Amino acid sequence: MLSKKLEKALNNQIQIEAESSQVYLSMASWAEVQGLEGIATFMYDQSDEERMHMLKLIKFVNERGGHAKVSTLNAPKFDFGTFQKMFQELLEHEIFVSNSINELVHITLQEKDYATHNFLQWYVAEQIEEEALARTILDKINLIGNDKGGLYLFDRDVQQITANSAAAPPSGA
Ligand code: OFO
């Protein structure tokens, strides 16, 4: 059975995952309108992943005798300026999510809830992967600078990342 404190913290994380999904959905829409097909595909995929993170939490909370809450969400930005800035925001957002997961893990230890502690390790690992991916993408962006041909290749490359992750077996979903 979840403690009230942990239930509240997990419900907060449910909202964060849902908002992450909305942020990436808005990024996907922005990229699509700019004609950046590969980037848009990548962001749609990220958005779906965040929804999956949210659902996994909802099911866990309910399974452990809590009641998962579906909350009103803050609207994401509509305009992201440049794709470089957008990917920088993606990294910053993932760092924010990692901090929030760390805080949750900390609470499980305070509450001596080792089942939830164990469950959250999947998120800890997922955050390491997502931050690393965002950093790899930013390195590529820095390499191409303002080169138009480079941007074309980058857009194709990013789409490839999505195709590869879709082909990979689900990571414990
Ligand atoms: Fe990458 O945010 Fe979910 O966990």
* CATH label of the domain that carries residue 54: 1.20.1260.10
Give yes or no for residue 50 CB within 6 A of ligand 1.
yes
Task: Please check the confidence at residue 26 and state whether its pLDDT lies above 60.
Answer: yes
Would 120 be classed as within a structural domain?
Answer: yes
State in Å: Cα 66 to ligand 1 middle: 21
Would 25 be classed as within a structural domain?
Answer: yes
Spatial separation of the C-alpha atoms in residues 57 and 52, rounded to whole Å: 9
Task: Show the domain range for 29.
Answer: 4-167
pTM score of the predicted model: 0.93
Task: Please check the confidence at residue 171 and state whether its pLDDT lies above 80.
Answer: no
Among protein residues, the one with the nearest Cα to ligand 1's atom 3 is 50
Would 28 be classed as within a structural domain?
Answer: yes
Give yes or no for residue 17 CB within 6 A of ligand 1.
yes
Residue 172 has what pLDDT?
Answer: 47
Give the pLDDT confidence of 35-83 residue by residue, as tens digits: 999 999 999 999 999 999 999 999 999 999 999 999 999 999 999 999 9
If one counts the domains in the chain, the total is 1
Would 66 be classed as within a structural domain?
Answer: yes
Would 173 be classed as within a structural domain?
Answer: no
| Cβ neighbours for 132, distance < 8 A, ≥ 6 positions apart | none
Residue 173 has what pLDDT?
Answer: 44
Ligand 1 atom at minimum distance from 50 CA: 3
